[in-house]
Amino acid sequence: MAQADVVNMAGQKVGTVELNEAIFNVEPNLDVMFRYVNMQLAGRRAGLASVKTRSEVRGGGRKPWAQKHTGRARVGSTRSPLWRHGGVIHGPKPKDWSIKMTKKMKKVALRSALSLRLKEGNLIILDDLKFDRPKTRELRNVMGSLGLDKTQKTLFILPWQKDEYQNVRLSGKNIYGVKVIIADNPGNSANGNKTNIDGLNVYDIVNHEKLVITTDLVRKIEEVLG
C-alpha cells in the first residue's frame, strides 16, 4: 500500500493515509484517458444545428418558366439549392454526438488520471474542508496555506454530505482557475445507500494542474474503483 501525507486547512501535516496501489499507483493508460475525455466533450455538444432542405424552404411550388423555347436553363423550382433562398444540400441536422464507453474503461481512465496526479506530486489530501459561510477569502487563505498560487488551476473534489460542503463550492466560484465539485451523490443512485462518484471525471482532473481531495473521498473512490 502506498502512503500519502494528510494535511489540514492550515497546510500542517496531521497524519498519513494508505492508498490502494491498484487505484492510485497504476501505469497511466493515456489512450483510455483520451477516449474518456473525448466522450465527455462529445456529450457536451448540443447537436441542435439545423438547415432546411429544398423540400422544407417556403415557396417554389410553381415552375418559374417553361421547360423549352425560352433560351434559359431548365428550372423546376426557385427553391433549388442553386438559387438564392433555396434549400441547402447536405447541411447539418439535429444529431446526438454522444459516445458510449464501457464501465470498465471508465474505471481504468479514472485510475490512470488519479495515479498520474499522484506521481506528479500534484495530489493533495486534506483531512477535511468546511466553511461556516461562503467566503472567497477563506478559500484563498486555504490555498495559500497549501502552497497553491494563482497560476495553477486547482480542482477541489469533495464528498457529498448534504449541505456541508456547499459553502466551499460557493466560495470557489469567484476564483479564476479554481473549480469545486461534489463527487458522489447517493441520491443519484437507484439505491440510496449505494456509493457512487458521479462528479469525479477525467476531464476535470487533467484540465487542472492541482487536485485536492479529502480522506473521506479517498475511501469512497477506493470502494467504487477497487
7 contacts 127 by C-beta, under 8 angstroms: yes
Cβ-proximal residues to 147 (8 Å cutoff; 6+ apart), any chain: 11
For the segment 155-182, what is each residue's pLDDT rounded down to a tens digit?
Answer: 999 987 767 889 999 999 999 999 999 8
Measured CA to CA, the distance from residue 216 to residue 198 in angstroms comes to 16
- How far apart CA 121 and CA 115 sit, in angstroms, is 10
pLDDT tens-digit readout, 99-125? 999 999 999 999 999 999 999 999 999
Rounded alpha-carbon distances, angstroms, from residue 212 to 41, 59, 119, 153: 23, 60, 14, 11
What span, in angstroms and rounded, lies between the C-alpha atoms of 187 and 200?
A: 15
CA atoms within 13 A on the CB side of 50: 10
Among left, alpha and beta (phi > 0; psi -120 to 50; other), residue 70 is alpha
Query: Per-residue pLDDT averaged across 211-217, rounded?
Result: 93
Q: At what angle do helices 30-44 and 103-120 cross, to 10 degrees?
A: 110
Residue-averaged pLDDT of the chain: 90
Please give the model's pTM, rounded to 2 decimal places.
0.82
Q: Is 101 in a helix, a strand, or coil?
A: coil
CA distance 222 to 98: 28
**Position 34: which residue type?**
F
Q: What is the pLDDT of residue 26?
A: 94
Report the alpha-carbon distance of residue 108 to residue 97 in Å, rounded: 23
pLDDT digits (tens, 9 = 90+) for 53-109: 999 999 888 899 999 999 999 999 999 999 999 999 999 999 999 999 999 999 999
Question: What is the band of 2 on the pLDDT scale with cuts at 50, 70, 90?
Answer: confident
Q: What is the pLDDT of residue 184?
A: 65
Closest CA relative to residue 223, chosen from 23, 89, 71, 49? 23
- Are 112 and 33 contacting, i.e. CB atoms less than 8 angstroms apart? yes
* The predicted structure's pLDDT at residue 162: 62
pLDDT band at 190 (very low <50, low <70, confident <90, very high): very low
- Residue carrying the nine cell digits 433560351: 71
Could you give the CA distance from residue 128 to residue 171 in angstroms, rounded to a whole number? 15
The identity of residue 205, as a single letter, is: I
What are the residues facing 180 on neighbouring strands? 156
pLDDT at residue 197 in the model: 65
